[in-house]
Structure 1
């Protein structure tokens, strides 16, 4: 079996493993394996192929790690406006109950709202900060 075929099989195995585990770093290693396969096609020695796989795959992992560490972590789905379109919407709270909840009419239905801990409940417009189950966590505007 040709050396390039072994590198392509390793690249394919890394891609399959990434699909199973969801680890994006395995795709970076697959890039290294593909680069080694190209080095094998070019007639490079086994040592050169291994070096190319290590440098390209390892370099891609390092670059991806740095890029990913510069971006902030995603919010949980309950507070992420890209996932939940209710985040950032305004609701009108007329009165708060003694237990810290209130009832509002929002999107054609009655919802239970909670104020964020540490805030004093007050009537008026509030912004939806998070959806917790079937309750809205709100901040005073």
Structure 2
């Protein structure tokens, strides 16, 4: 098996992991592996391939992370969900009780969901509105 084939396999591995986790960092590492594969196709030595993979992948990860740090934290006041989750925004759920860590388990659409409280006040039981969906949490605000 040629060196370029191995690099393409590594790039495919990173892309498949990215599809499972939705982490943009893994996609950047796949670009580094693809750049190393192109170096292998150009018959460059293995140490050059490794340096190119590290420079493109590692440099890209550092640049993306620096970009995210420069952007700053996400504004929580104007926090909304994009994508398919917007269909659930504004729906009402009933909270029977809050756990000490600030989460609750609510029934929504026939299944149990984890929920987090949004707002400056201490969470209370009762009817809440879905403000956003964050990962596997419903972000709730009191009505």
The TM-score normalised by the length of structure 1 is 0.56
Q: Distance in 1 between matches of 2:7 and 2:30?
A: 9
For residue 32 of structure 1, what is the aligned residue in structure 2?
A: 32
For residue 45 of structure 2, what is the aligned residue in structure 1?
A: 45
CA RMSD in angstroms comes to 3.0
For residue 12 of structure 1, what is the aligned residue in structure 2?
A: 12
The TM-score normalised by the length of structure 2 is 0.56
Q: Distance in 1 between matches of 2:80 and 2:45?
A: 52
Runs of 5+ unmatched residues, structure 1: 87-115, 118-129, 136-141
Q: Distance in 1 between matches of 2:6 and 2:26?
A: 17
For residue 91 of structure 1, what is the aligned residue in structure 2?
A: none
1:79-129 Cα offsets, whole Å, 9 max, x none, are 515657x9xxxxxxxxxxxxxxxxxxxxxxxxxxxxx76xxxxxxxxxxxx
Q: Distance in 2 between matches of 1:55 and 1:72?
A: 25
1:55-98 Cα offsets, whole Å, 9 max, x none, are 1110001000001111132345x8515657x9xxxxxxxxxxxx
Count of aligned positions:
94
Counterparts of 1:120-131 in structure 2, within 5 Å, are: 131=131
Residue 110 of structure 2 corresponds to residue 74 of structure 1: no
Larger Rg: 1
Runs of 5+ unmatched residues, structure 2: 90-119, 122-129, 132-139
